[in-house]
Chain A
């Protein structure tokens, strides 16, 4: 997904990075648009942190060039780059109080005292900690420390704010609050965010665009809902959200729909350019499957009989595990209905799903 009209604030061209014999990043081409929240998402070791450190200047690219705000910064040291970083473990200076931590960058720029004071206090207001200027960093909770770290970076008005798994060290409740806070701060400061995470939920909630990475390469760049609905690889389908993957063979292609054989049943799915007879995988999200009593339910393009083997109640949702006649396990999820949990383990059920629920992956 590219947009030639939008201003690019960061541009990576053919960037590779090796640590000795290990290729950490290979042939990375990436544009970051001005003002967006871009997430680098991937499992640990996929190269997302290395990519962020390359932008920050803590690592040198083995080849390729990096541009920030139109300038080639490939060889520029970190202190001369117009970016600031929020570290995973905050990295607040323990010998300075909150005010001095936030003022650190401004003092190095030799701004005048009054200016520093007002900017630090503005920033404390934005992160909603106006009364914390004189606290020591060890007196702060994790969430507060992360706000200070955010303020310390944003007060320098960076062209890009880099965030390295900033919520990983926080517990769940605070993490959810902070996500909302991050969106608000982003809107309030009009800063470009490049956000590194391995957490797909964070990525989906926060991002304008997600960059999905694996093994040192970029697999897909898309808006979260597009990436979720139309993954372009098995890896993407499995990493982002949950899915059922059914091995299938292409049987027929008739222009509008395609017919697949999944062993015990024929499935119709969307058309594509797969040759008849080729092996593919069908990815079906659990929430796109409708579950009903065996033989009942609205007519649908695809139906599959099975019996419930496991029921998990997750408050607002119910998750069923179904074994079909072919012995395959399929997960299905529905919102909790007014009747409560509709099926028990052992219930005979029918799963149905529309043509578009099948995402065909050839890999």
Chain B
């Protein structure tokens, strides 16, 4: 009984800010307090007509996608290399590669500003992407490693034994088995990048990502448009996750379809 009450409280604590934001993004008046005066989609209309926000969303999508892809590739290679390292080297590398997680974003931001200035790269969406890859990579490796450590590497030996070159065994055995993990980790990186603020604020140039736009709007006045923008970001996160689920479903179905013709003439 007590446990149930606790779970209820826990969920309320966790979800109430989200519910409030979603609710007020649909408010028909500009007031951000109760009593609630009715529903409207006005703020979403305003959101769409706000070119600044539109540009922010597009930029965020570009940066997050690029981050997910680049981190996905670099991280997969790293996570796959990990179990094959000497145990001493492995634990040393595990410690150091997680420094960016422990390091406050503030320092990472400052360090990157200095670095980009040193090598004379002007701040832009490119520098933001580089920063986001740096920031998401440890998360990716952490998430992927736990699964890859469970991967049975005798499967690679079995593939080699059956005539597969190292590359073939990676492509035909290892990757198909760990793909769901890698895609899942990449999606997580997309989400991390999509709402990253602190590091972004240091390395961004003239263009803005969505969190930057919302931040700058907040400094003037808190308007319900911000609620709408936040809700949109929320929906997008859900959509990305659902997309991942669909990808897996499709994979499984297409596998079954591939098998079907052979079954037919057996």
Q: Which residues of A contact B (CB under 8 A)?
A: 56-58, 77-79, 83-85, 87, 89, 91-95, 97, 99, 104-105, 108-109, 117, 133-134, 152-153, 156
From B158, B165, B168, B176, A87 is in contact (CB under 8 Å) with: B158
Instruction: State whether B262 touches A99 (Cβ < 8 A).
Output: yes
Instruction: State whether B161 touches A56 (Cβ < 8 A).
Output: yes
Q: Report, nearest first, the 8 A-B pairs whose CB atoms are least far apart.
A: A105-B162, A91-B158, A108-B163, A91-B154, A78-B160, A85-B161, A95-B176, A79-B163
Contacts of B172 in A (CB 8 A): 104
From A89, A93, A97, A153, B173 is in contact (CB under 8 Å) with: A93
**What's the minimum C-beta distance from B163 to chain A, rounded to whole angstroms?**
4
Contacts of B159 in A (CB 8 A): 93, 104
**What's the minimum C-beta distance from B21 to chain A, rounded to whole angstroms?**
41
**What's the minimum C-beta distance from A32 to chain B, rounded to whole angstroms?**
18
Q: Is B84 an interface residue (CB 8 A)?
A: no
**What's the minimum C-beta distance from B193 to chain A, rounded to whole angstroms?**
29
Given contacts A84-B162, A95-B177, A104-B162, contact A78 B262 (CB under 8 A): no
Instruction: State whether B259 touches A85 (Cβ < 8 A).
Output: no
Proximity bits, B153-191, A CB within 8 Å = 1, else 0 = 011011111111100100011001100000000000000
Query: How many angstroms from the CA of A89 to the CA of B158 in the assembled complex?
Result: 11
Given contacts A58-B157, A78-B157, A134-B263, contact A108 B177 (CB under 8 A): no
Contacts of A92 in B (CB 8 A): 158
Instruction: State whether B155 touches A93 (Cβ < 8 A).
Output: yes
By CB atoms of chain B within 10 A, which of A87, A89, A152 has the most? A87
Instruction: State whether A79 touches B165 (Cβ < 8 A).
Output: yes
Instruction: State whether A94 touches B177 (Cβ < 8 A).
Output: yes
Query: How many angstroms from the CA of A59 to the CA of B173 in the assembled complex?
Result: 21
**What's the minimum C-beta distance from A158 to chain B, rounded to whole angstroms?**
9
Instruction: State whether B154 touches A87 (Cβ < 8 A).
Output: yes
From A83, A85, A99, A133, B158 is in contact (CB under 8 Å) with: A85
Instruction: State whether B259 touches A97 (Cβ < 8 A).
Output: yes
A99's closest neighbor in chain B, by CB? B262
A-B contacts, 21 listed (Cβ < 8 Å): A56-B161, A58-B157, A79-B160, A79-B165, A85-B158, A87-B154, A87-B157, A89-B154, A91-B152, A91-B157, A93-B177, A97-B259, A99-B262, A104-B159, A104-B162, A104-B172, A105-B162, A133-B266, A153-B162, A156-B162, A156-B163
Contacts of B158 in A (CB 8 A): 85, 87, 91-93
Contacts of A156 in B (CB 8 A): 162-163
Contacts of A91 in B (CB 8 A): 152, 154-155, 157-158
Contacts of B177 in A (CB 8 A): 93-95
B152's closest neighbor in chain A, by CB? A91
**What's the minimum C-beta distance from A41 to chain B, rounded to whole angstroms?**
22
Contacts of A83 in B (CB 8 A): 161
Apart from the given pairs A91-B155, A97-B259, 20 other A-B contacts in the complex at a CB distance below 8 Å: A58-B157, A58-B160, A79-B163, A79-B164, A84-B161, A84-B162, A85-B158, A89-B152, A91-B154, A91-B158, A93-B158, A94-B155, A95-B177, A99-B262, A104-B162, A104-B172, A108-B163, A133-B266, A134-B263, A153-B162
Query: How many angstroms from the CA of A57 to the CA of B262 in the assembled complex?
Result: 34
Proximity bits, B131-165, A CB within 8 Å = 1, else 0 = 00000000000000000000010110111111111
By CB atoms of chain B within 10 A, which of A79, A97, A117 has the most? A79
Query: How many angstroms from the CA of A232 to the CA of B200 in the assembled complex?
Result: 76
By CB atoms of chain B within 10 A, which of A87, A95, A97, A153 has the most? A95
Query: How many angstroms from the CA of A361 to the CA of B172 in the assembled complex?
Result: 54
Contacts of B160 in A (CB 8 A): 57-58, 77-79
Query: How many angstroms from the CA of A87 to the CA of B219 in the assembled complex?
Result: 65
Instruction: State whether B259 touches A152 (Cβ < 8 A).
Output: no
Contacts of A58 in B (CB 8 A): 157, 160-161
Contacts of B161 in A (CB 8 A): 56, 58, 78-79, 83-85, 153
Query: How many angstroms from the CA of A84 to the CA of B172 in the assembled complex?
Result: 18
**What's the minimum C-beta distance from A298 to chain B, rounded to whole angstroms?**
57
Contacts of B162 in A (CB 8 A): 79, 84, 104-105, 108, 152-153, 156
By CB atoms of chain A within 10 A, which of B157, B161, B262 has the most? B161
B175's closest neighbor in chain A, by CB? A95
**What's the minimum C-beta distance from B145 to chain A, rounded to whole angstroms?**
19
Contacts of B164 in A (CB 8 A): 79, 104, 108
Query: How many angstroms from the CA of A58 to the CA of B162 in the assembled complex?
Result: 12
Instruction: State whether A109 touches B152 (Cβ < 8 A).
Output: no
Contacts of B155 in A (CB 8 A): 91, 93-94
B173's closest neighbor in chain A, by CB? A93
**What's the minimum C-beta distance from A187 to chain B, rounded to whole angstroms?**
24
From A56, A105, A134, B163 is in contact (CB under 8 Å) with: A105
Query: How many angstroms from the CA of A77 to the CA of B167 in the assembled complex?
Result: 13
Of residues 228 to 266 in B, which have CB atoms within 8 Å of A's CB atoms? 259, 262-263, 266
**What's the minimum C-beta distance from B71 to chain A, rounded to whole angstroms?**
24
Query: How many angstroms from the CA of A153 to the CA of B160 in the assembled complex?
Result: 12
Given contacts A93-B173, A133-B266, A134-B259, contact A108 B168 (CB under 8 A): yes
Query: How many angstroms from the CA of A105 to the CA of B176 in the assembled complex?
Result: 17
**What's the minimum C-beta distance from B178 to chain A, rounded to whole angstroms?**
10
Contacts of B168 in A (CB 8 A): 108
A149's closest neighbor in chain B, by CB? B158
Contacts of A133 in B (CB 8 A): 266
By CB atoms of chain A within 10 A, which of B162, B164, B165 has the most? B162
Proximity bits, B40-83, A CB within 8 Å = 1, else 0 = 00000000000000000000000000000000000000000000
**What's the minimum C-beta distance from B147 to chain A, rounded to whole angstroms?**
13
